[in-house]
Amino acid sequence: MSVQQQVSDTPLARKDCLAISRFTPGEIQRLVDKALEIKKKHRDGEAFRPLTGKTLAMIFDKPSTRTRVSFEAGMAQLGGHPLNLNRNELQLGRGESVPDTARVLSGYVDAILIRTFSHELVTELAEHASIPVINGLTDTHHPCQALADLTTLKEEKGKLAGLKLAYIGDGNNMLHSLLEAAAATGIHLAAAFPEGYDPDPVIVSQAQETAAQTGAQITLTRDPREAVVGADAVYTDVWASMGQEEEKERRIRDFAGFQVDAQLMSLTKADASFFHCLPAYRGLEVAAEVIDGPQSVVFQQAENRLHAQKALLVELLG
């Protein structure tokens, strides 16, 4: 059975969204297809409010534009109520334990979204909560962004399995989630990163094991040109993420030669798309001529955060 055929008609078997690897290939395909279905309803102005009466607690330890606005707007559009929280507004900020906070919130709301630094904190929250917990971003994983990326790829190319996606940049949380997403959906992922910025070898190994079952290919290289040859899409991320600002100058030097520019894009397929999870820094990881050019889908990709997350919320809570 192909990856494209492994789409389950049953609700998600897992109550949390902690990492892409926690979902089966069929569940991922189901989420992508539902996201595109929900987007069409949204564009057509069709009322779709299956989460009326549901409440989502949103905890933010990191600044956010796309995650906060897309989840808040999405929950409201689905008929639910988003409750925006900050750690300093909770007893977490005064030392209450994560297990106690999880148990208390489980009695008040229907799901928890958290955007924070430590992935272990999110897994601990999920372990003690009796309601779904959604990882809005940690230093290790960014599953909601990867779901939006898969949605955009499917929307642009009409399929996932067999596509080649090139990732250029830091072996960070974004690459970790893309590795898991590509492996599960049959995408050939070629990632190029400088020495010292490799992705977590455990996540790479697990992705390779999954890829062996789905027909995906995982290629790791130090050469951006090698990675992008024949690619259907090219993806990059900032060189210095939140919390790494003091490393910015060193990282700029280390990532010399890793900018996605017109010359690099010329090695891809003629109809290749450019992806960036945003925010972007023109002149660093990407040239303005690329991100603002005709191959760029970054704002379509950003909009699809809304629809992919609405699909996730419906599957987890509906």
SS3 124: helix
Residues that constitute the known binding site for L-ornithine: 173, 237, 241-242
Residues that constitute the known binding site for carbamoyl phosphate: 64-67, 91, 115, 142-145, 277-278, 305
Torsional class of 280: left (φ above 0), alpha (ψ -120 to 50), beta (otherwise): beta
Calpha distance 8→15 (Å, rounded): 15
Q: What 8-state DSSP symbol labels residue 15? A: S
**Backbone phi and psi for residue 82, each to the nearest 5 degrees, phi listed first:** -90, 140
- Residue 228: which H helix or E strand, with range? helix 224-228
Which active-site residues does the annotation give?
115, 142, 145, 237, 277, 305
DSSP string, 240-264: S-TT-GGGHHHHHHHTTT--B-HHH
Calpha distance 285→241 (Å, rounded): 12
Question: In this structure, what token pair is assigned to residue 88?
Answer: 């300093």
